[in-house]
Structure 1
């Protein structure tokens, strides 16, 4: 009599753990992510990221010189224990096997502010840009009690040079 009840309970718990694993695909510390812009090259990853930096991951092997590498950029806000955020910039390569991280670095300009990120938005919500590079807007507060956030921009030009600055409206 009790065996069907125990079996039903075990099946329910097993199903619940599968759903819990699915919910953990993205870390709870990730508060905002945007993928935007694009890049094409046949050589080195982002010229603005220092490969000797402790914050940067080593780039993947350069591709065959005959085959152009291409992909997109991703900005990620990670919430820290104190509520402030770190912003990471990734260069993602679109490969036949799926997306691969080419380079990843923390943007120290934001970390030094000890800011609370309230939003990250791409230049366009269509995901289509006419020129190589990236433009995204980061909204943040350095004082959590502030009514309005500050607006900052992250710009990557067609050469891969990165510029982070406060927006001037």
Structure 2
């Protein structure tokens, strides 16, 4: 009886155009991504929205877009030599789902060829009251050393600062 119910459910889902099979685990997130966190937020002001012109039009097209907003993602990608590159993404909250606005390699980390051991947000509550980002990247430049903390900050104007954490 249970097998018949499962077959019926599968037939209903497939006839409705709903995929039954889940994606393979290795296609969801590459194994080279070792640490990632999403934190902070950003928003555009009305004046920051680019005015788009229709091809051949002399007048600007009407601005129908609302200011965008979203969050940041910071992640480490392991390289073949076991060191990592660290990237920062700006993600927009769109009606269709999250959309990558930009991806930036943080060369401050690439230049020192770190072994990244962790990435943590300022807080894990998910509630950020100020625009910007604050995250700590823990890394080693020698695999046998203790990790150091490095802060990645984005202020309310979008300026990025990467520096060794001071306690």
Structure 1 length-normalised TM: 0.74
Return closer, same or farther for 1:154/1:83 CA change in 2, 3 Å cut-off: same
**Aligned: 1:25 with 2:28:** yes
CA distance in 2, matches of 1:166, 1:87: 15
Structure 2 counterpart of 1:35: 38
* Residues 9-158 of structure 1 mapped to structure 2, 5 A cutoff: 21-42=24-45, 43=48, 64=63, 67-146=66-145, 148-158=146-156
Instruction: Compute the displacement of 1:44 (Å).
Output: 6.6
Residue segments in structure 1 that go unaligned for 5+ positions in a row: 1-17, 46-63
Q: Deviations over 1:61-108 (max 9, x none)?
A: xxx476111000000100000000000000000000100000001000
Higher-Rg member (1/2): 2
- Report Cα offsets for 1:86-142 as digits up to 9, x if no partner: 000000000001000000010000000100000000001011111000000000000
Q: Who is 1:3 aligned against?
A: none
Indicate whether 1:162 and 2:156 are aligned.
no
Q: C-alpha separation between the residues in 1 aligned to 2:141 and 2:77? A: 15
CA distance in 1, matches of 2:83, 2:30: 16
2-structure distance, mates of 1:22, 1:164: 33
Measured on the aligned residues, the alpha-carbon RMSD in Å equals 1.8
**Post-superposition shift, 1:20?**
7.3
Q: Call closer, same or farther: CA 1:137–1:44 in 2, change over 3 Å.
A: farther
Partners of 1:32 and 1:132 in 2: CA distance: 23
TM-score, normalised via structure 2 length: 0.75
Helix, strand or coil at the partner of 2:35:
strand
Q: State the structure with bigger RCO (CA 8 A, min sep 6), 1 or 2.
A: 1
